[in-house]
């Protein structure tokens, strides 16, 4: 197994007409979740990924497992629960102006706990990836993440962490405190610009990045959307430009970047090239509606690499 991750996947309803929720009559059903998005992204690129969680025994839970299996993600370690599946609703107030609403209190995944994890499924992987979304779901999910991180660290696995701060789920202080508890275990910090500022309590990006690097992370990556990404590793600083694209739906872009970056690391690409693959994957996702639907395939990657080689000759 190449990567193992854990968290909540929700059923996602996306308004098909522009407007506020109370005026929209048609919704498109899909699934979405930060960690499962990244797992799907890696599977599409030909790597093996495992997603751990609690999934409901309701029809939505069955759909989530069916979709993930169909995408090539291993879900054999998922525990089933009778609590309902969490719900995410996307409100398209105008083209490019998307508001996300969560209905996940008391969901099956919110009951995830450390005892639900099989250590063997974690140590069988080459990397662990976790996010702050799971930390925000409650004490049980926080215990599960901490347990997963401890198991991976004891086995010597690299651990990537995306704070993925959802301030609709908790306060800034709560989020920062919970994230910082994981910092000693993290090898690759993958945050966006706003998260870098919130985690360091500053309004200056350069100062926040310097502070994060000073905390001792071997790798710090700051995702900046249309402005690309900044990467710090072993004293080297890499500024990687974004790929121009007409954005349709930015939800899932950070997860796609994570998948592309982790693909590069798992296939022994250089740090700079891994950042470039991350930007490339994110550019695919934002050009499509949905959390994961626009994730590129291995054939897409090979075509891009071939074209890139032609351009740089």
Q: Where do the structural domains in the chain lie, given as residue ranges? A: 3-307
Write the Ramachandran bin of 309: left for phi over 0, alpha for psi from -120 to 50, otherwise beta: alpha
238-268 residue pLDDT tens: 988 877 665 555 666 889 999 999 999 999 9
Question: What is the DSSP secondary structure assignment for residue 187, as one 8-state letter?
Answer: S
Percent of the chain with pLDDT over 90: 70
Write the Ramachandran bin of 41: left for phi over 0, alpha for psi from -120 to 50, otherwise beta: alpha
Give residue 24's pLDDT band: very low, low, confident or very high (50, 70, 90): confident
Starting at the edge strand found earlier in the chain, the sheet holding 229-233 runs: 49-52, 3-6, 127-131, 159-162, 188-192, 219-223, 229-233, 236-240
Give residue 292's pLDDT band: very low, low, confident or very high (50, 70, 90): confident
Query: Helices (DSSP H) in 12-127: which residue ranges?
Result: 34-44, 59-70, 119-123
Strand 127-131 versus strand 97-103 pairing type: unpaired
Average pLDDT over residues 216-236: 91
Predicted pLDDT of residue 252: 66
**Strand (E) or helix (H) holding 228:** none
- Are 204 and 211 contacting, i.e. CB atoms less than 8 angstroms apart? no
Predicted pLDDT of residue 51: 98
DSSP secondary structure string, 193-219? HHHHHHHHT-S-HHHHHHHHHHTT-SE
Query: Helices (DSSP H) in the chain: which residue ranges?
Result: 34-44, 59-70, 119-123, 132-135, 139-154, 172-182, 193-200, 205-214, 253-266, 271-286, 298-312
- Provide the mean pLDDT of the chain: 91
Please state which of the ranges 75-89, 157-171, 249-263 shows the lowest mean pLDDT.
Answer: 249-263
User: Of these residues, 74, 249, 255, 291, which one is catalytic?
Assistant: 255
CA–CA gap between residue 1 and residue 267 (Å, rounded): 13
**How crowded is residue 94: how many other Cβ atoms within 10 Å of its Cβ?**
8
Average pLDDT over residues 130-145: 96
Predicted pLDDT of residue 94: 72
**How crowded is residue 263: how many other Cβ atoms within 10 Å of its Cβ?**
24
Please state which of the ranges 20-29, 38-47, 57-66 shows the lowest mean pLDDT.
Answer: 20-29
Higher pLDDT, 286 or 279: 279
Predicted pLDDT of residue 313: 31
For 267-290, b where at least 16 C-beta lie within 10 A, e where not — what string?
eebebebbbbbbbbbbbbbbeebb
Give residue 95's pLDDT band: very low, low, confident or very high (50, 70, 90): low
Average pLDDT over residues 126-138: 97
Q: Does the pLDDT of residue 271 top 80, yes or no?
A: yes
Higher pLDDT, 284 or 73: 73
Give residue 218's pLDDT band: very low, low, confident or very high (50, 70, 90): very high
Q: The whole model's pTM is what?
A: 0.92
Percent of the chain with pLDDT over 70: 93
Instruction: Specify whether 255 is catalytic.
Output: yes
Domain covering 3-307 in this structure, CATH number: 3.40.1190.20
**How crowded is residue 105: how many other Cβ atoms within 10 Å of its Cβ?**
10
Please state which of the ranges 118-132, 185-199, 239-253 shows the lowest mean pLDDT.
Answer: 239-253
Average pLDDT over residues 175-180: 93
- Are 47 and 57 contacting, i.e. CB atoms less than 8 angstroms apart? no
Distances (CA, A) of 153 to 52, 101, 147, 183: 17, 34, 10, 12
Average pLDDT over residues 22-49: 94
């Amino acid at each position: 197994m190449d990567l193992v991750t854990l968290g909540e996947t929700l059923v996602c309803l996306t308004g098909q007409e522009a407007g506020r929720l109370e005026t929209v009559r048609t919704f498109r059903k899909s699934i979405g979740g930060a960690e499962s998005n990244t797992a799907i992204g890696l599977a599409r690129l030909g790597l093996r990924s495992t997603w751990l969680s609690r999934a409901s025994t309701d029809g939505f839970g069955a759909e989530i497992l069916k979709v993930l299996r169909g995408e090539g993600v291993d879900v054999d370690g998922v525990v089933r629960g009778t609590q309902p599946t969490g719900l995410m609703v996307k409100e398209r107030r105008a083209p490019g102006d998307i508001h996300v609403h969560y209905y996940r209190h008391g969901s099956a995944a919110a009951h995830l706990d450390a005892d639900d994890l099989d250590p063997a499924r974690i140590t069988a992987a080459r990397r662990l990836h976790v996010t702050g979304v799971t930390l925000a779901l409650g004490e049980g999910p926080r215990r599960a993440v901490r347990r997963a991180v401890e198991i991976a660290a004891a086995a010597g696995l690299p651990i990537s962490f995306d704070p993925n701060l959802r301030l609709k789920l908790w306060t800034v202080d709560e989020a920062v405190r919970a994230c910082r508890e994981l910092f000693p275990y993290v090898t690759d910090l993958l945050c966006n610009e706003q998260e870098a500022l919130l985690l360091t309590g500053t309004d200056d990006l350069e100062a926040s990045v310097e502070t994060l690097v000073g905390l001792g992370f071997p790798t710090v990556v700051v995702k900046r959307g249309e402005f690309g990404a900044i990467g710090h590793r072993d004293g080297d600083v890499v500024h990687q430009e974004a790929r121009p694209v007409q954005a349709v739906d930015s939800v899932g872009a950070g997860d796609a970047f994570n998948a592309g970056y982790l693909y590069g690391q798992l296939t022994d690409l250089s740090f700079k090239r891994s950042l470039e693959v991350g930007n490339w994957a994110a550019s695919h996702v934002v050009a499509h509606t949905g959390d994961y639907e626009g994730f590129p395939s291995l054939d897409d990657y090979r075509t891009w690499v071939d074209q890139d080689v032609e351009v740089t000759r």
